[in-house]
A and B are shown apart, each in its own frame.
Chain A
Amino acid sequence: MDLSFTEDQQAIVDAVKEFCAEELAPHAAEVDASGEFPWPQVQKLAEMDLLGIPVPEDYDGLGMDFLTWGVVGELLSSGCTTTGAVYGAHMLAVYPILAFGTDEQKDRYLRPLARGEAVGAFGLTEPNAGSDAGSVATRAELKGDEYILNGSKIFITNGGDAEVYVVIANIAPEKGTRGLTAFILEKGMEGFTFGKNEEKMAFHSLSNRELVFQDARVPQANVLNKLGRGFRVAMDTLSVGRIGMAVGAVGLAQAALDAAVPYAQTRQQFGQPIANFQAVQFMLADMATEIEAARLLAYQAAWRKDQGLEFEKQAAMAKVFASEACTRATSKAVQVHGGYGYTREFQVERYLREAKLFEIVEGTSEIQRLVIANRVLREYQS
């Protein structure tokens, strides 16, 4: 089992590591405090050709794989969680168009997304459709050669700032999930507006807006995949998104460890660095072990996808494990910092607040466990 990167992957990892250390990490706290969408950081991601990593070169992407996309996502999250989150959510528009788009749709939408000229977003969640994604109520009705959408989405990451949206609506509610259909929408389309941006526990500069459809007019040509095939689009996209959330959680947990260790080595109590005390050492050991395990689970899921193997179970495992490990790691990081860890002067309190998001977004831990159990039970059926 060869767990090393290829030369190309290593070159990319080295370049991105340097980029994160020099351009992202020094401004991460500032970006979070500003409350504004991190356009300068996204601009840099575009200039670095980071927004289309798994998109073929024919469509202006880097022509690499999802493992590379995942590793880069981990590094970006470690450097600046907000930028990492924008990067992860962007793929939720890139992937469905890449996987299901017609040549015309790829030409029109995949290119600008891959070049970073447009930011992407994915609209599934509604006030009454969270874990119960199948009960999406946004309605799409055919009128002439346009679909008219009515309804709303909430908590949409990059909502309001993204230019390209993949939205799930129902063309035939009487058919339940078999009526769900994916549409590509552009910011500025008639009837498509934005509602409030949620004020959250953390990630203050990440946009999580309402998408509002009031007789929104979407050309027929913007149906993604086939009519009634939206549930498939959503599930496949979420599987990829899970890998993104897993690596994002790993990156954040790593940042927490990177803060805790030097602190423990410098802080003295009882005449010595607290890193000498077993109680602290055990915390650091547990953090490091879980980060390593989460990282490998996530990389494996991505690798399986790249190999064309079934990866939904591994993606769910990676997501649930990494997110919960991240909450534990960030909590330990605050604990290692003691009183100082609870103050705004240090970044670890922000890390702990940010960690919780990963347990909820893109399929709660509970949903992930259902996905895993479903697959596991199937494996044992004779």
Chain B
Amino acid sequence: MVKNVFYSTSIIAICLALGKVIAAYLGGLPASLYGMLIFTSALHFQLVNPKKIASTISWIIQHMGVCFVPAGVGIINHYQLIKDHGFALVTIIFISTFILLSFVGLTYQHLVLNKKSCTH
């Protein structure tokens, strides 16, 4: 158990370090995203054992919410913005979320699923 936690955190640290190197040379994406893609490739090419990391990774994903709290508290500096544009802000989020839901849902159901059932 302890060994797996150590293994998982080391792998993540290595992937993140490589991501930082790539981001420094290439730019484009944030370092952490290069790190994520490296981690996925390492799993895909069986350089990393998925069984050993599964439980640590799901613990991290389950608890990572607390890391976003400080960034979210920054909204405290936006009192004026919320006062002036709060309604527009929430409305834009609402509308674009429902357009996206409908677009993906309807397109997949009508084009992908129905086409498949016709050819069968």
A, B bound: no
Q: Which residues of A contact B (CB under 8 A)?
A: none
